[in-house]
Amino acid sequence: MNTNNELRAVLFDVDGTLADTEQDGHRLAFNAAFKQLNLDWHWDIDLYGELLQITGGKERIRHYMEKYAPAALNKNDLTDWIISLHKTKTKYFESLMENGSIPLRPGVARLIHELRQERIRLAIATTTTMENVTALLKSTLGEASIDWFDVIGAGDIVPMKKPAPDIYHWVLNQLQLTAQQCIAIEDSENGLKSALAANLPTLITVSGYTRLQDFSGAAAVLSDLGEPSQPFTKIRGTFDQQWVDYQMLSKLINC
């Protein structure tokens, strides 16, 4: 047991971690963008689950084209076209957020408020765009919530996306903290690989698309963060608590 590290910051992933944004958020927004551009593409639930193995929306579009629509790769200025398509998708996603269509997952708001009271720093490390992050935070926690996070690492701010550790290295550098002073909260295998490669203790709260993934190396694996009135389901880990709080996170970084 290592008891030398004091919890100083919590680093949150976004999609699937803060909210279940994928199936009924990003997927619907992609399909709406395809329709607007008169593309005969449609990403159903199962296909989108497959495509989620590729992190990053623009990267996901290119992968889909390479596998399912190779003729479209002949477009002039392909990279710019993909960027434009992704921007259209982002507008649809922001609209879904503004309508309050996607709530935060159990325990997220409670834990964020508790960590602020404990003066624990908050950060975000995600492959999604800054526009998506701000839309989600504003629609669920209010306009002021953007300023609750000391650092927001999002989108193309680093060259390599998860499972590469680049985004976590960048966030840690901005926080000027060591990995051992922090904990990451993720929902996917790629996110876990990214955090572990940056030497971050990592808590997993599985989401609909990630339940069957390999979470070897995680400090704990849970159904969600839990609430006093709605305890989490423990998938892996040794502890007696029924919802994630400051004390539990502090213990996890020293295991």
pLDDT: is 237 or 33 the higher one?
33
**Overall domain count for the chain:** 2
On the question of pLDDT at 172 being above 90, the answer is: yes
Q: Which two tokens stand for residue 26?
A: 């990003």
Asked if residue 200 and residue 169 are part of one domain, the reply reads yes
Q: How far apart are CA 202 and CA 194, in angstroms?
A: 10
Q: Does pLDDT of 99 surpass 90?
A: no
Task: Give the domain-ending residue among 98, 118, 143.
Answer: 98
Give the per-residue SS3 of 107-173. Answer: CHHHHHHHHHHCCCEEEEECCCCHHHHHHHHHHHHCHHHHHHCCEEECHHHCCCCCCCCHHHHHHHH
Give the pair of three-digit tokens for residue 200.
């971050």
Residues whose CB is less than 8 angstroms from the CB of residue 176 and which lie 6 or more positions away in sequence, other chains included? none
Residue 161 and residue 127 share a domain: yes
Q: Is residue 1 part of a domain?
A: no
Do 146 and 134 form a contact (C-beta atoms < 8 A)? yes
Are 114 and 208 contained in the same domain? yes
> Is 44 a known active-site residue?
no
pLDDT digits 0-9 by tens, 62-84: 999 999 999 999 999 999 999 99
144 and 66, same structural domain? Answer: no
- pLDDT of 239 > 90? The answer is no
Among the listed residues 13, 20, 187, 224, the single catalytic one is: 13
Is-contact 34 41, C-beta < 8 A? yes
Residues 6+ apart with CB under 8 A from 244: 107, 111, 203, 222, 225, 226, 232
Q: Looking at the structure, tell me whether residues 69 and 186 fall in a common domain.
A: no
Q: 210 and 115 share a domain?
A: yes
Tell me which of 15, 20, 187, 224 is the catalytic residue: 15
The answer to whether residue 13 is catalytic is: yes
* pLDDT band at 4; cut points 50, 70, 90: low
Q: By the 8 A CB rule, do 216 and 195 touch?
A: no
The number of beta carbons lying within 10 Å of the beta carbon of residue 211 is: 12
pLDDT digits over 184-201, tens only?
Answer: 999 999 999 999 999 999
Strand pairing of 220-222 and 202-205? parallel
**pTM summary value:** 0.90
For all residues of the chain together, what is the average pLDDT? 95
Domain with 244 in it: 9-20+104-252
